[in-house]
Amino acid sequence: MINPHGSTELKPRYVYDDAARAALVAEAEGLPSLLVNSAAAANAVMLGAGYFNPLAGYMNLADAQAVADSLRTTDGLFWPVPVLNLTDDESVEAGSRIALRDPNVEGHPVLAVMDVESVDEASEEQLRAIGEKVFRTLDPEHPGVATFLSLGRRVLAGPIQVLNFSYFASDFPETFRTAVDIRAEIAERGWEKVVAFQTRNPMHRAHEELCRMAMEDLGADGILIHMLLGKLKPGDIPADVRDASIRKMVDVYFPPNTVMITGYGFDMLYAGPREAVLHAVFRQNCGCTHLIVGRDHAGVGDYYGGFDAQTIFDDEVPEGALDIAIYRADHTAYSRKLNRVVMMRDAPDHDKEDFVLLSGTAVREMLGKGIAPPPEFSRPEVAEILMDYYRSQG
């Protein structure tokens, strides 16, 4: 199986030994505590689950700046996005050991124990410089920028030991999986070549066929459908609805033992190209050999060019920095001429009218009115689940 990023074995920060974990839980009750923000909590979950291998904890300001500027930490590790614990709490000091409390679970239980190696005070200019490099914009309307610049200016750095996976394991028991879990299941299934598909949306016909195309083109053994389960921007469809619709699509339209349906606990950054590279890192840590990168991967609005998330792998990712390969996808749509879904680049004789094209807004309006999108766009079984959701929203 493909090696994890930066090491030969996965190094998750979750404490798997029951006795050691129980001792840490007991110790944490006597430690000074910090209620972290959702972004820092999501980073802790990803560190615990092995997705951020080989990182041991949160970055300091120098590493965050180096990653933003050059996609490398100060010690040379290739990494695309700073992994930070930002706060405005002034009580935490360097050299302390603290309990990190979960903002997303009632009662704010301890999520992790952190050894604080350093505390840096970032200036507004430094944070804006990091944000501009990562998001390619400082527009406050960009949801990722708005979140990042609101998290605080104190940078708490150091290793963590993770005690649980927040609400993800309890709310999505059939879907949430760690990188450790996924690698084990890939090995159990005997898959060698595995294609990952990232999604934060329900999957329509075009997404379904894109997975099928990638699998056939690459001669892959299976597809990892890997959905984001964390916080999204307002208007995005909740994870439980996406989960149900994707499971229905796979059950009905894919052969057995060709698809793994899984999810991961992270808040969406909407960082476009940089987030696409981050997606590649943690799919390599899952054991996948390929990641599908389509048009406007991990983007939002009009902040990124349609193929920027592909060209970053040519222009900014050094040769050999990642072992995982990219499957480059064009916009996919149903061809009225050919009566099947195609990549638009493969149909040069087509005009726009030859494709079944619907905007996200148009689809949401149809679903909200109880109107199923055409079957060329969305499978009827999937549309029914989505219509039920929109009807429930009133």
Nearest CA among 23, 12, 26, 38 for reference residue 108: 38
What tens digit of pLDDT does each residue of 308-360 get? 999 999 999 999 999 999 999 988 888 998 998 898 888 889 998 889 887 77
Q: Which CATH superfamily is domain 18-169 in?
A: Sulfate adenylyltransferase (3.10.400.10)
In this structure, of 131-140, 218-227, 298-307, the range with the lowest mean pLDDT score is 298-307
> Is 283 strand, coil or helix?
helix
Percentage of the chain beyond pLDDT 70 is 99
In this structure, of 150-164, 240-254, 312-326, 357-371, the range with the lowest mean pLDDT score is 357-371
* CA–CA–CA angle 3, 8, 10 (5° rounding): 85
What's the rounded mean pLDDT across residues 235-259?
92
C-alpha span between 81 and 358 (Å, rounded) = 32
* Phi, psi dihedrals of residue 87, rounded to the nearest 5°: -155, 165
pLDDT at 157: 98
What's the rounded mean pLDDT across residues 133-151?
97
Percentage of the chain beyond pLDDT 90 is 82
Active-site amino acid positions: 200-201
State the pLDDT confidence band at 284, using cuts at 50, 70 and 90: very high
**Structural fold of domain 172-392:** Rossmann fold (3.40.50)
What tens digit of pLDDT does each residue of 2-61 get? 999 999 999 999 999 999 999 999 999 999 999 999 999 999 999 999 999 999 999 999
What tens digit of pLDDT does each residue of 82-139 get? 999 999 999 999 999 999 999 999 999 999 999 999 999 999 999 999 999 999 999 9
State the pLDDT confidence band at 367, using cuts at 50, 70 and 90: confident
Mean pLDDT score of the chain, rounded to an integer?
A: 95
DSSP 285-340: HHT-SEEEE-TTTT--TTSS-TTHHHHHHHHTS-TTS-SSEEEE---EEEETTTTE
State the pLDDT confidence band at 295, using cuts at 50, 70 and 90: confident
Beta bridge partners of 343: 332
Delimiting residues of CATH 3.40.50.620 domain(s) in the chain:
172-392
Delimiting residues of CATH 3.10.400.10 domain(s) in the chain:
18-169
What's the rounded mean pLDDT across residues 172-177?
95
pLDDT at 238: 87
* Contacts of 290 by beta carbon, 8 Å cutoff, 6+ apart: 193, 194, 195, 196, 214, 218, 220, 324, 325, 326, 327
pLDDT at 391: 86
Contact 253, 208 (CB under 8 A): yes
In this structure, of 100-109, 147-156, 364-373, the range with the lowest mean pLDDT score is 364-373
Reported as type and span, the H/E element at residue 21 is helix 18-28
* CA–CA–CA angle 325, 330, 335 (5° rounding): 135
In this structure, of 41-50, 182-191, 257-266, 334-343, the range with the lowest mean pLDDT score is 334-343
